Chain A
């Protein structure tokens, strides 16, 4: 059973309900936009296991060579550029021929702070289906340890 990315206790739940109500009010509200209407690109989820911290960067339609990732201490920086029109696959893009234009285009830069337990010397990243998965080991002393319960 895959984890559903929701919290047991969720301070944003109220906000989400509000969002759903807004969805009904307006034609639609994209999850890729903030309430003020600007787009967030890329979106980021962070999770952790006993031994590593995992960062999921939702960056569809990128050339992996054009993604800059760097980790300093527990700060992960992600920057790069995406030209949304490249996905059209047309020789010459004529702006007046757009009927709708919602996808993010241009330069982006985000910095997120990760749990203090990360060990910046052990990082790997993989790009698959438009999601970058960054895996960072935890410092040896900060890893969860299973405590054996001995029978008396």
Chain B
């Protein structure tokens, strides 16, 4: 089981998945349950309308854009966050049901639930008492 948890271990580094210049890398937490994997990413400024989550060729792409940026009348004095886009990609292992990924975003935090295929979920084996 452990060696197949690709989402956990391997971040996508194929050229087409490399982060675009200046895109920010959101920090993520990945947590496994019996049912699947929960992935949480901090993307401050991103709302439902500027979030793009997709799976192509077993790669999960997270993209987001800061929805509201200061207008031209605002002159920067001090800047820690540069850029407007977030980007990160992960390889999905074969044990996940890509059709059923659920995504929500609240207060700039993306939460994804990536369910495991039924066949991959741990099964409880009932122990019958002989006698």
Contacts and interface: CB of A to CB of B under 8 A. Distances in A.
Interface of A: 1-7, 16, 20, 27-33, 39-40, 42-50, 53-54, 56, 58-62, 84-85, 87-90, 93, 97-104, 112, 115, 127-131
Contact of A97 (B7, B11, B31, B108): B31
Contacts of B74: 3, 47-49, 54
Given A100-B8, A129-B46, A3 B28 contact: no
Nearest to B72: A3
A129 to B, nearest CB: 5
Contact of B24 (A31, A97, A99): A31
A16 B47 CA distance: 27
B45 A87 contact: no
A130 B45 contact: yes
B83 interface: yes
A29 B81 contact: no
Contact of A129 (B26, B29, B44, B73): B44
A97 B30 CA distance: 9
B101 interface: no
Given A3-B71, A49-B73, A131 B79 contact: no
Given A87-B111, A103-B42, A129-B107, 18 more contacts: A2-B72, A5-B69, A5-B79, A5-B82, A20-B21, A28-B11, A32-B26, A43-B80, A44-B80, A47-B76, A49-B74, A54-B74, A61-B42, A88-B111, A97-B33, A101-B29, A103-B29, A115-B77
A82 to B, nearest CB: 10
Contacts of B19: 28
Contact of B81 (A7, A20, A50, A58): A58
Contacts of A129: 44-47, 66-68, 107-108
